[in-house]
Amino acid sequence: MASIRRWAYALSCIGALLVPLPTAAQTIFDFQREFPLTDFAVRSINLSEIFTGNPRRGSFPTIDEPKFVAVDDIVDVGPLEPVLSLIIDGDARAYPLRIMLFHELVNDVVGGVPVLVTYCPLCNSGVVYDRRLGGETLTFDNTGRLRHYDMVIYDRQSESWWQQFLGEAIVGERTGQQLRAMPARLESLGRFQERAPNGKVLIPPNENMRPYGTTGGTGVDDMPPALARERYPFPVPEGVSPLERLIVVGDEAWTLDLVRAQERVERGDLILTWVAGQNSTHDTSLIRNGRDVGNVVVQRRTDAGPVDVPYDVSFAYAFSAFIPDGTLYLK
């Protein structure tokens, strides 16, 4: 089961912190056999930051030919289950996390725009990117590797490696290039249905392929902060658990608890709102039974009215690891 393998891999990665790292030459040799087109001499990171164990390339089957049904015809997804949703030029689509947990990447075209839908279950990061870059449309797949417990993906054209959380190429000829994040929402299926009654919802390539609707991340929401700090050794602020959810907008972030308590937070022209009614994917084995973590919407005030902006609802350790100079608002 891909999701369970991913969580087991995360635990093995934590254990790997306690053993000597392979030499850079050995790491490149091992990677090069699996990714012959990748130029590992060009990179913005130290390869020792990438865990080298299983899973490997192809372990998580990317969805390249997504299938959808009308939102009114969905029967196996609970109304409070989370989806990543996107509306472009009237084309409204939702990607249930019950499916994204096992596939992690979807190459799609929405409203005529080639997009990449991503979800890393370990750090709870769900971001949609524009696949167009420099006049070329890229397609993406999963390396099976992790860096700072966030998945590392690659484009099939150059086999450059990209960090999912950042949308930035970190290894290969495209190193330093950046994908543009799209203004998607993480919301419940019911809320998507309300705002897009004619929308479409992703269905599995094969409903028997994986145990959709389950999660390997049970109990994560209840992990004691001290244990979380041991397992995710990143410099989060005092009083913040590495597994606390943050609402990330660029290089700024707000704790979900803060926005939930106030229900509406404004900073400059940004407006963050929270309403109840969305299951957690990190609580019980069945997502539809997960605790209520609520729905977040992030918009920017304009002369024409509020417009959605890209945001992420991820765990605090990912923000600390990838945006160490970012600003985190606790009150």
| Residue 60 pLDDT | 87
Average pLDDT on 34-52 reads 92
With cut-offs at 50, 70 and 90, classify the pLDDT of residue 25. low
Chain mean pLDDT for the chain: 91
How many domains is the chain built from? 2
| Residue 207 pLDDT | 85
| Residue 1 pLDDT | 55
Q: Do 71 and 152 belong together in one domain?
A: yes
- What distances in angstroms separate CA 153 from CA 124, 170, 312, 329, one per listed residue? 16, 10, 18, 30
Q: Is the pLDDT of residue 141 over 90?
A: yes
| Residue 282 pLDDT | 96
Residue where a domain stops, chosen among 175, 202, 229:
202
Q: Do 298 and 169 belong together in one domain?
A: no
Asked if residue 213 is part of any domain, the answer here is no
Tens of pLDDT, residue by residue over 212-225, are: 999 988 889 999 99
Asked if residue 210 is part of any domain, the answer here is no
Strongest mean pLDDT among 18-27, 132-141, 233-242: 132-141
Asked if residue 194 is part of any domain, the answer here is yes
| Residue 14 pLDDT | 42
Q: Is the pLDDT of residue 167 over 90?
A: yes
Q: Is the pLDDT of residue 238 over 80?
A: yes
Asked if residue 209 is part of any domain, the answer here is no
Q: Do 110 and 180 belong together in one domain?
A: yes
Asked if residue 318 is part of any domain, the answer here is yes
| Residue 39 pLDDT | 95
**Domain span including residue 291:** 220-329
Q: Do 78 and 198 belong together in one domain?
A: yes
With cut-offs at 50, 70 and 90, classify the pLDDT of residue 331. confident
Give the rounded percent of residues in the chain with a pLDDT score beyond 90.
Answer: 81
Residue where a domain stops, chosen among 176, 202, 228:
202
Q: Which two tokens stand for residue 315?
A: 């765990």
Q: Do 13 and 65 belong together in one domain?
A: yes
With cut-offs at 50, 70 and 90, classify the pLDDT of residue 54. low
Asked if residue 78 is part of any domain, the answer here is yes
Residue where a domain stops, chosen among 202, 237, 269:
202
Asked if residue 212 is part of any domain, the answer here is no
Q: Do 138 and 22 belong together in one domain?
A: yes
Q: Do 34 and 181 belong together in one domain?
A: yes
With cut-offs at 50, 70 and 90, classify the pLDDT of residue 11. very low
Q: Which residue has the higher pLDDT, 213 or 16?
A: 213
Give the length of the chain.
331
Q: Which residue has the higher pLDDT, 34 or 56?
A: 34
Q: Do 30 and 85 belong together in one domain?
A: yes
Q: Do 191 and 287 belong together in one domain?
A: no
Asked if residue 211 is part of any domain, the answer here is no
Tens of pLDDT, residue by residue over 249-305, are: 999 999 999 999 999 999 999 999 999 999 999 999 999 999 999 999 999 999 999
Q: Do 191 and 273 belong together in one domain?
A: no
Give the rounded percent of residues in the chain with a pLDDT score beyond 70.
Answer: 90
Where b means 16+ CB within 10 Å and e means fewer, 122-136 reads bbbbbbbbbbebeee
Q: Do 175 and 227 belong together in one domain?
A: no
Q: Is the pLDDT of residue 125 over 70?
A: yes
| Residue 226 pLDDT | 92
Q: Do 82 and 146 belong together in one domain?
A: yes
| Residue 218 pLDDT | 87
| Residue 216 pLDDT | 86
